[in-house]
């Protein structure tokens, strides 16, 4: 008799975005679905940069020739892409990250879950609250938590609240934690962290032999020059942190799929006999066994992000979405909403009015003005009373959605 992974039975409800999609589907069955404006899931809407399309087209044609055809590529990614990433994203910012330390993949969501393959089951784990749900759910699925409590949190996880009182910056854990998930610019709150604040986390991790899993998928949206783009801008981070990056949001690759994870060669964990074990060979082994790499065509597209033309176009996309964020923030603030985020991140984090719950406000906006956002409580207990709007949409949709909301 086949047994299932019972950890899945501990999961609360559906994954947040499918749950939203379900409610929207029900609503659209009895309403005019063309009226609905979706500012829920952070999915890009603008066309792919021409530089990337040209590079992918060229690569596709190359694959149609006997000389240019490619079969399996390196599981870690092609060296020409890893070199570009190392130079442009790290060396240029003073971070000593070599091409070998970069593993190209098909997404940060998968990498931030798959990384658990190389980490022991007994590690204590801390996440912020609210948090990108994938970090929590992937720990639940792999049996690293206890059961869900009535309030939706899981036994065994340490939750670090981020809220208005602490400016959406978590406090260091009171007790020793082995693995810390940090995401900056933050999804969902849009908050950022300064170098001084981030240094406290790196110091904590170094002192406690902890590992920071740093999700920097939104780094390209940073406008303020003093905010770090990479955790490796902080001294010592190569000894205590893994970083996740993505081409999804900057170059519009959500449907193309390309990302990368940085595992410094120096980074160590420990065996049960307290022997130091480098994480790089473990991840390399994991990827070589379970992953066949990202397609040649897509990697050529990602490489074009670093060309002169590509950089210009990506800048244009980011400026466009950040202008959306600015419009949204200004309009909502003028209408009396308390609004956070949106300055260095494509997410606007709104305080829900009139003591409504986050899901009440979701239903209210959907029913009243056909606008879809994401309930803050879907990101965790401390997200209750908040609501996330994504700046990823066309200008006309953003303007229309704001008009509808402020005129309710
Ligand atoms: C979100 O809306 O939070 C993002 O789409 C998450 C993701 O990139 O997977």
Residue nearest to ligand 1 atom 6, measured at CA: 42
Residues 6+ apart with CB under 8 A from 281: none
Q: Are residues 127 and 245 in the same domain?
A: yes
Ligand 1 close to Cβ of residue 139 (< 6 A): no
Q: Are residues 126 and 79 in the same domain?
A: yes
Provide the H-helix boundaries in 34-170: 50-63, 79-85, 108-114, 133-141
What is the per-residue pLDDT for 69?
98
Which of 183, 187, 374 has the most ligand 1 atoms within 8 A of CB, as the residue to mutate?
187
Ligand 1 close to Cβ of residue 109 (< 6 A): yes
**CA dist list (Å): 42 to 111, 285, 398:** 18, 32, 13
Long-range contacts of residues 108-112, Cβ cutoff 8 Å, at least 24 apart: 108/215, 108/217, 108/244, 108/245, 108/246, 108/248, 108/259, 108/261, 109/134, 111/244, 111/259, 111/261, 112/138, 112/181, 112/213, 112/215, 112/244
Ligand 1 close to Cβ of residue 249 (< 6 A): no
Q: Are residues 10 and 129 in the same domain?
A: no
Domain extent at residue 72: 53-307
Atom of ligand 1 nearest to the CA of 390: 2
Among candidate residues 274, 307, 340, the one where a domain is terminated: 307
What is the per-residue pLDDT for 304?
98
Using an 8 Å Cβ cutoff, are 192 and 345 in contact?
A: yes
- Which CATH number covers residue 185? 3.40.640.10
Q: Are residues 276 and 394 in the same domain?
A: no
Ligand 1 close to Cβ of residue 21 (< 6 A): no
pTM over 0.85? The answer is: yes
Q: Are residues 355 and 286 in the same domain?
A: no
Domain tally for the chain? 2
Residue of 279, 264, 259 whose CA lies nearest to 98: 264
| Distance from C-alpha of 343 to C-alpha of 192, rounded to nearest angstrom | 9
Q: Are residues 287 and 314 in the same domain?
A: no
| Distance from C-alpha of 364 to C-alpha of 280, rounded to nearest angstrom | 48
Q: Please report whether residue 1 resides in a domain.
A: no
Q: Are residues 184 and 322 in the same domain?
A: no
| Distance from C-alpha of 22 to C-alpha of 18, rounded to nearest angstrom | 6
Q: Are residues 350 and 280 in the same domain?
A: no
Which of 21, 40, 132, 220 has the most ligand 1 atoms within 8 A of CB, as the residue to mutate?
132
Angle made by CA atoms 38, 40, 89, in degrees to the nearest 5: 115
What is the per-residue pLDDT for 14?
67
Q: How far is the CA of 274 from the centre of ligand 1 (A)?
A: 37
Q: What is the chain's alpha carbon radius of gyration, rounded to the nearest angstrom?
A: 21
Ligand 1 close to Cβ of residue 77 (< 6 A): no
Q: How far is the CA of 238 from the centre of ligand 1 (A)?
A: 26
| Distance from C-alpha of 367 to C-alpha of 67, rounded to nearest angstrom | 57
Among candidate residues 307, 334, 356, the one where a domain is terminated: 307
Q: Are residues 19 and 78 in the same domain?
A: no
- Which CATH number covers residue 341? 3.90.1150.10
DSSP string over 122-143: T--EEEEES--HHHHHHHHHTT
Ligand 1 close to Cβ of residue 187 (< 6 A): yes
Q: What is the pLDDT along the chain (408 residues), one digit of tens a residue?
A: 999 999 999 998 666 888 898 999 999 998 888 899 999 999 999 999 999 999 999 999 999 999 999 999 999 999 999 999 999 999 999 999 999 999 999 999 999 999 999 999 999 999 999 999 999 999 999 999 999 998 889 999 999 999 999 999 999 999 999 999 999 999 999 999 999 999 999 999 999 999 999 999 999 999 999 999 999 999 999 999 999 999 999 999 999 999 999 999 999 999 999 999 999 999 999 999 999 999 999 999 999 999 999 999 999 999 999 999 999 999 999 999 999 999 999 999 999 998 899 999 999 999 999 999 999 999 999 999 999 999 999 999 999 999 999 998
DSSP string over 198-225: HHHHHHHHHHHT-EEEEE-TTGGG---T
190: Cα separation from own chain's centroid:
11
Residue nearest to ligand 1 atom 3, measured at CA: 42
Atom of ligand 1 nearest to the CA of 41: 2
């Amino acid at each position: 008799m086949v047994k299932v992974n019972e950890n899945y039975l501990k999961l609360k409800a559906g994954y947040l975005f499918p749950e939203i999609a379900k409610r929207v589907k029900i609503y659209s069955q009895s309403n005019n679905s063309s009226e609905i404006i979706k500012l829920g899931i952070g999915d890009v809407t603008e066309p792919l940069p021409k530089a990337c399309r040209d590079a992918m087209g060229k690569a596709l044609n190359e694959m149609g020739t006997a000389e240019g055809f490619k079969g399996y590529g390196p599981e870690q990614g092609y060296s020409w892409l890893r070199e570009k990433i190392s130079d442009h994203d790290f060396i240029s910012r003073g971070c000593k990250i070599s091409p070998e330390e970069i593993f190209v993949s098909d997404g940060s969501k998968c990498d931030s879950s798959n990384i658990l393959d190389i980490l022991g089951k007994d590690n204590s784990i801390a996440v912020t609250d609210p948090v990108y749900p994938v970090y929590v759910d992937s720990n639940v699925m792999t049996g690293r938590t206890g059961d869900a409590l009535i309030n939706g949190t899981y036994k065994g996880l340490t939750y670090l609240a981020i809220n208005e009182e602490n400016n959406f910056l978590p406090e260091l854990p009171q007790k020793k934690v082995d693995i810390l998930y940090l995401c900056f610019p933050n999804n969902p709150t849009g908050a950022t962290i300064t170098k001084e604040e981030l240094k406290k986390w790196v110091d904590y991790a170094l002192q406690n032999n902890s590992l920071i899993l740093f999700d920097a998928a939104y780094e390209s949206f940073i406008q303020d020059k003093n905010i770090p783009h990479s955790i490796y801008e902080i001294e010592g981070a190569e000894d205590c942190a893994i970083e996740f990056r993505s081409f999804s949001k900057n170059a519009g690759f959500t449907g193309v799929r390309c990302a990368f994870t940085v595992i410094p060669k120096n980074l160590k964990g420990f065996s049960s006999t307290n022997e130091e074990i480098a994480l790089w060979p473990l991840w390399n082994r994991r990827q070589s066994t379970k992953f066949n790499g990202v397609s040649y065509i897509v990697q050529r597209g990602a490489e074009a992000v670093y060309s002169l033309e590509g950089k210009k176009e990506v800048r244009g996309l980011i400026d466009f979405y950040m202008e959306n964020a600015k419009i949204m923030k200004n309009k909502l603030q003028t209408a009396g909403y308390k609004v956070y985020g949106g300055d260095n991140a494509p997410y606007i984090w709104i305080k829900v009015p009139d003591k409504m719950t986050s899901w009440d406000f979701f239903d209210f906006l959907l029913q009243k003005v056909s606008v879809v956002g994401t309930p803050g409580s879907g990101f965790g207990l401390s997200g209750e009373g908040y609501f996330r709007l994504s700046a990823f949409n066309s200008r006309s949709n953003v303007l229309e959605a704001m008009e509808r909301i402020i005129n309710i």
